[in-house]
Amino acid sequence: MFDKPKRDPALIRRIKNWAYEYLPITTETTVSVMELQCHEKDCPPLETVIAVMEQGLETRQCKFHKPISEVTRKDFKYAKLDSTNRA
């Protein structure tokens, strides 16, 4: 019915581990890894979004303008968390 590729749980787990290693978060933080279609101007068709949810704090995220399968540890070296609430 849909030609959507299946997610690779091991790859998602590896990206989550890099998030815990490189982002300023604790091990109690919930991390979600999503691959989304990007509809912004000059954006590649797929982007990987890392959402970080901590109790009592606004949800924050970082984006990599590439599919999950292309995200590497090196990408996290300069990753920054931004608030998802944009006024």
State the pLDDT at residue 43.
Answer: 79
pLDDT at 7: 79
Q: DSSP states of 17-83 as a string? A: HHHHHHSS--TTSEEEEEEEE--STT--SEEEEEEEE-TTS--EEEEESS-GGG--GGGGGG---EE
pLDDT in tens, 14-35: 999 999 999 999 999 999 999 9
pLDDT at res. 42: 82
Chain position carrying tokens 């797929």: 46
- Domain ranges for the chain, please list them: 9-83
Q: Give me the pLDDT at residue 87, please.
A: 40
How confident is the model at residue 85, as a pLDDT? Answer: 54
- Counting as low any pLDDT under 70, the low residues of the chain are 1-5, 85-87
Q: Note the pLDDT of residue 2.
A: 53
